[in-house]
Amino acid sequence: MGRDNLIYCGIDSAERHHDVALVDDTGQLRAKRRISDDAAGYRLLLDLLAEYGDTEVEPIPIAIETTRGLLVAVLRTGKRKVFAVNPMAAARYRDRHGVSRKKSDPGDALVLANILRTDMAMHRPLPADTELARTIAVLARAQQDATWNRQQMSNQLRSLLREYYPAALDAFADWKNGLCRPEAREILKLAPTPARATQATRAQLRSALKRAGRSRGIEAEADRLREVFRGDYAHQPPLVEAALGKQMLALLRQLDAACAAADELAEAVEEAFLQHPDADVLLSFPGLGIQLGARVLAEIGDDRDRFADARGLKAYAGSAPITRASGKKHYVGRRVVKNDRLNHAGYLWAFSAIKASEGAGAHYRRRREHGDWHAQAQRHLFNRMLGQLYHCIQSGELFEEHLAFPSSLAVAA
């Protein structure tokens, strides 16, 4: 049947089923269904939408509280606009329809449909990113999570070693990445307790270093490790030390898995990221390498119409300040609501760019001289470079230092 009135759809998703509500532009409930979370349920939903006038040319807009899952993937095919409504925002809308604070899944679907009916212009549809960009987003976020998990496991292992094995911490103190290095993990497997470490021979230490992939300075490193392990340290009782050694080996296996996952995902990210047309633009910026550039691309996507201007991107990243004004009170501060992953990548980007770019370093120092704290100066630098990135991606131009950070003489000229 044709669509005499505009139709809006709201879906309240759950693990095993989804509640669907359709309303027209007068607010009247036209249909409601509960569908299963499988292919049959998705077909039922598409048939229901088609019954109320959904076409490829004029699809019915849909509001849902998630951006992930098979249901969202099915709905995003074609030109359909899918709006991911924040659950907190949906809860605020619910209070408009009643004060009893009652909640139900069918009622939430109706609320979501009415959000589109009344305030669709105030919400942003999911971006029309390419399949490659969405692939990079999955891999980059997974690699970022794996990196955080690896650091968490490393911190737990370090905390445990402090309780009974300070010699190991001293032995690996000068190594970059510390306990995450293959050499450190192999040494700990060889000598899980201080007692075992003092008995380790030079040949055993050399073999452990070779198993970890080390090829240079093995003799000197084995001698240094042997000297550290035979130093004067306090000890736990023998039985307690042995038990702590077993606990350490269990944590070490988890750290091994975390390191392997992070490395494998890093390789997958690099392979996918270098295939994207925007990779050259991102890599032209100082401080952005493959992994960090992939994280930035994963969060901003490649939909050129996603942000109306650079200010929208800066607000999304949380680098642009926010102003709160009420009466005689006026406050300018940092944003709390933002894309946390992009904001985290931005601080790493700015930190690297300070030394990689002469102009970026000068900009940071100038902000510090004006009274900014370190984090404030970094955020200001990230905000500026994000605007430059927006321009370069939109125009397809590579970053140029003398244009991004012109010298005082060039400005005067």
- Can you name the residues that pair with 116 across neighbouring β-strands? none
**Residue 16 — pLDDT band, cuts 50, 70, 90?**
confident
Which tops the pLDDT comparison, 89 or 389? 389
What confidence tens digit (pLDDT) does each residue in 207-253 have? Answer: 999 999 988 999 999 999 999 999 999 999 999 999 999 999 999 99
The token duo for 107 is 């009622």
| DSSP H or E segment with residue 48 | helix 39-51
Averaged over 254-261, what is the pLDDT? 96
The pair of structure tokens assigned to 202 is: 């030079």
Residue 93 has what pLDDT? Answer: 82
Place of tokens 């009782």: 237
- pLDDT for residue 102: 67
Model's pTM, two decimal places? Answer: 0.86
- As to burial, measured by CB atoms within 10 angstroms (0-12 exposed, 13-18 middle, 19+ buried), residue 293 is buried
Q: What pLDDT score was predicted for residue 329? A: 80
Residue 145: its pLDDT value, please? 95
Q: Place 105 in a pLDDT band, splitting at 50, 70 and 90.
A: confident
Using pLDDT thresholds of 50, 70 and 90, give the confidence band for residue 411: very low
Write the pLDDT tens digit of every residue in 81-97.
Answer: 999 998 888 888 887 76
Q: Write out the two tokens for 352.
A: 């690297």
**318-326 long-range Cβ contacts below 8 angstroms, 24+ apart:** 318/342, 318/343, 318/346, 319/343, 319/346, 319/379, 319/380, 319/382, 319/383, 319/386, 320/383
Cβ neighbours of 239 (radius 10 Å)? 8
Mean pLDDT of 260-273: 97
User: For residue 186, what are the contacts with CB-CB under 8 A and spacing of at least 6?
Assistant: 208, 209, 211, 212
CATH number of 7-126: 3.30.420.10
Q: Considering only CA atoms, which of 74, 99, 89 is closest in space to residue 20?
A: 74
pLDDT of residue 409: 41
User: Residue 2: its pLDDT value, please?
Assistant: 46
Long-range contacts of 27-35 (CB under 8 A, 24+ apart): 27/114, 27/117, 29/110, 32/106, 32/109, 32/110, 34/106
Q: What are the tens digits of pLDDT across the range 326-364?
A: 777 877 777 778 889 999 999 999 999 999 999 999 999
**Which region, left, alpha or beta, applies to residue 213 given φ > 0 means left and ψ of -120 to 50 means alpha?**
left
Interval 24-59: pLDDT, tens = 988 899 999 999 999 999 999 999 999 998 888 889
Identity of residue 80: R
pLDDT category at 4 given cuts 50, 70, 90 is low
* Pairing mode of beta strands 7-13, 17-24: antiparallel
The backbone torsions φ and ψ at residue 322, rounded to the nearest 5 degrees and listed phi first, read -120, 140
* Unique residue bearing structure tokens 């890093």: 266
| Residue 371: C-alpha distances to residues 307, 316, 365, 374, 376 (Å) | 32, 26, 10, 9, 9
Q: What is the pLDDT of residue 280?
A: 96
| Averaged pLDDT of the chain | 90
Domain ranges of the chain: 7-126, 135-272, 280-412
